[in-house]
A and B are shown apart, each in its own frame.
Chain A
Amino acid sequence: MNKEDNKDIIIGQNITFSYKDRIILDNQSFSFKKGEHIGIIGESGSGKSTFLKLLAGLLSPSSGTLSVDSESDPTKIMKKISMVMQDAMIMPLTIRENIALGKEIKKERMDEIIKATRLDLWTDSLPEGIDTYLGERADELSGGQAQRIAIARAIAKDADIILLDEPTSSLDKDTIKDVMEALETLIDRKSVIHVTHQTDLLKGYHRILKIGGGRIYE
């Protein structure tokens, strides 16, 4: 972590948060520093994924304040983060459109993203390359291909904060290795909050926190 960047980028103060009649956080305070890589673990159903949605501004706390990169307005928070979930969102579009999602991305930048996520190993074999229409066949993509598209989308957004929600949990061992390589490009020099059951994926992370019983603790 760079010392110059040693400031808190996410600050939660006295946050109480329930979801579907279950208390996820009960008057908890926490802070994550810029460039810090945080692993979040916990039992199934402890609210790890819901916690990520809270950080992303998709859900609001019942009480307390949450600030993400000095913003507390959920719409502005969303602009500061990228998210990769367990199930990659693949739409009936071309690979390029699935990455750009309607935004203008220059060819050089797109080529960089495709190489960084190693999507080129696959797209180079396709007659229409990254302009291949996934359409109704989107479900036929392998988990690794779909997840690499999701990571490419996150890289394209170039947000400072990356939220990862078990992005490799549905993949086999060989594919996990490939996807982790792509993830490393995404999280390099970014603030990362990574929810996972697979603690071995959190090697080298600055802190590992646990969620459970309404608390978040080291």
Chain B
Amino acid sequence: MNKEVIKMLKVCGVWKMFLIMLILRFPFDILNSVIKANLMQCFIHMIRQNQKENLWFNVVLFFTLSALLFGYNMSIWSTIAVKTTVLLQTKLRKKIYEKILDLSPREMSEESKGDWFTALNNDVDNACAYLTSPLNYMHMVIALVNLVLSSIIMIFLNVELYVIGICCLLPFFFLNVMVISRKITFFKERAKKSLVKYTDWIEVSLKEKSLLSVYDAKEFVYEKIEKQSLNILKENMKAHNRMCICNALYAFSGMLGYLLLLFRGSDIIEEDKTDLAGLTKMTQYRSETVRSVNCIYSSVNNMNASIVGVRRINEIIGGENNG
């Protein structure tokens, strides 16, 4: 885990709860993958062997297992996740507020009011998003575990098909992570700076309404607000464009891998090394690896964007450690 995030979790004293939340989420994805892959294999077998009575039993079994799994995810795990998020938000805001109250007027004046407002609102939201929102740290770790376990199962089933699948994914993954998405954090940091300035100008426009009217400067201040608002939009768009390129590359690599798998799969069926049901099972696991890699892509991108808030919070509450 990122050092900055560990530091923040320790300062807030919620890292144990976060760990429990993470561990409780692990079984969901891999069990979901195993159930889907095995049942698809069973369905194909039964259709080919005309075992309709067993097919119905398997449909009910698949439905029940899926319902139990999603029921667990939506009730037990979601409750814990919401509680942890709210607790983290509350503790972070309290820590920042306490820090602000402890500052001397001189230290207070070293940051603008916009900085403090952004820290209490946007930065806290970013930090919580990093840890608990979909497609952030939590999903990245789960996707990583799912990727490893799906890969082990695929290697066990057919090494050659696994290598084909993974060779189509990894180059694009590294291209995205190492080159394309790298600048997302930079763009998000610039957007955050503009957000601070934007908040400062909004404060000026509200607090100094009378004087701005007297000096005919309302338009002048609105232009400043508009400029910062456009800067936020521009920097966020740059980050968004990078994310779009990443997603497009992912879609391309996924399609390429699927086609190659089907080409080679048909040969393997002809060689009698597997049957259609076995190939279907294999494509199910491959889908899981693709989904996991995509989830890691998106999570890394979102984390790059959200880590800005975590860094800023640590700069404010840093130095303490009561975890």
- Chain A interfacial positions (CB closer than 8 Å to B): 53, 56, 58, 78-79, 81-83, 85, 89, 91-92, 101-102, 135-140, 153, 157
Q: A78-B216, A85-B210, A153-B215 given; name 17 further pairs at CB < 8 Å.
A: A58-B213, A78-B213, A78-B214, A79-B216, A82-B215, A83-B214, A89-B212, A101-B215, A102-B223, A136-B112, A136-B115, A139-B108, A139-B109, A139-B112, A140-B106, A140-B109, A157-B215
Q: Give A138 to B217 CA distance when docked, in angstroms.
A: 19
A131 to chain B minimum Cβ distance, whole angstroms, is 17
Contacting residues, chain A, for B213 (C-beta < 8 A): 58, 78
Residue contacts A-B, CB under 8 angstroms, 6 given: A92-B112, A92-B204, A102-B220, A136-B110, A136-B112, A136-B200
Question: A81 — which chain B residues lie within 8 A by C-beta?
Answer: 214
Chain B residue at smallest Cβ distance from A139: B109
B201 & A92 in contact (Cβ 8 Å cutoff): yes
Number of interface residues of B (CB under 8 A): 24
Please indicate the chain B residues that have their CB under 8 angstroms from the CB of A138 in the complex. 112
Within the complex, what minimum Cβ distance (angstroms) separates B181 from chain A?
A: 30
A102 touches which one: B197, B204, B219 (CB < 8 A)?
B219
Question: For A83, what are the chain B residues with a Cβ–Cβ distance below 8 Å?
Answer: 210-211, 214
A101 & B109 in contact (Cβ 8 Å cutoff): no
Contact of B208 with A by CB under 8 A: yes
Residues 218 to 252 of chain B near chain A (Cβ within 8 Å): 219-221, 223
> Complex Cα distance A111/B263, Å?
80
Q: Are B109 and A137 in contact (CB under 8 A)?
A: yes
Whether A101 and B201, one on each chain, are in contact in the complex, defined by CB atoms closer than 8 angstroms, is: no
In chain B between 165 and 208, which residues have their CB closer than 8 angstroms to a CB of chain A?
197, 200-201, 204, 208
Most B Cβ at <10 Å: residue of A78, A89, A137, A138: A89
A50 to B89 CA separation, bound complex (whole angstroms) = 41
- Chain B residue at minimal CB-CB distance from A91: B204
Per the bound structure, the CA–CA distance linking A78 and B217 in Å amounts to 11
Contact of B211 among A79, A85, A135 (CB under 8 A): A85
For residue A136, which residues in chain B have a CB less than 8 angstroms away from its CB?
Answer: 110-112, 115, 200
For A82, give its contact among B112, B197, B214, B223 (CB under 8 Å): B214
- A58: contacting residue among B106, B110, B200, B210, CB under 8 A: B210
Q: Tell me the complex Cα distance, A56–B215, Å.
A: 11
How far is A135 from B114 in the complex, measured between Cα atoms in Å? Answer: 11
A-B residue pairs, 4 tightest by C-beta: A102-B220, A139-B109, A136-B112, A101-B217
Asked if B211 and A89 sit within 8 Å, CB to CB, the answer is: yes
Q: Quick check: B219 and A56 within 8 Å, CB to CB?
A: no
When distances are taken between beta carbons in the complex, the residues of chain B under 8 Å from A89 are 204, 208, 211-212
Most buried by B among A56, A81, A102: A102
Which residues from B are CB-within-8-Å of A82? 214-215
Nearest Cβ distance between residue B192 and chain A, in whole angstroms?
14
Which A residues are CB-close (under 8 A) to B197?
92
A102 to B197, CA, bound (A): 18
Bound CA–CA A50/B219 (angstroms): 24
Q: Which residues from B are CB-within-8-Å of A135?
A: 112
A81–B208 alpha-carbon span in the complex (Å): 16
Distance from B68 Cβ to chain A, minimum over Cβ atoms (Å): 55
Q: Closest CB-CB distance, A91 to chain B, in whole Å?
A: 5
Closest to A154 in B: B215
Task: Please give me the residue from chain B that is nearest to A82 by CB atom.
Answer: B214
Within 8 A of A (CB), among B84-133: 106, 108-112, 115
> Can you name the residue of chain A whose Cβ is closest to the Cβ of B211?
A89
| Complex Cα spacing A157 to B213, Å | 13
Nearest CB of chain B from residue A136's CB, rounded to whole Å: 4
* Nearest A residue to B210, CB-CB: A58
Residues in B whose Cβ lies below 8 Å from that of A79:
216
B232–chain A nearest beta-carbon distance, Å: 16
Cα distance, A56 to B212, chains bound together (Å): 12
Contacts of B214 in A (CB 8 A): 56, 58, 78, 81-83
Cα–Cα distance between A55 and B111 once the two chains are bound (Å) = 36
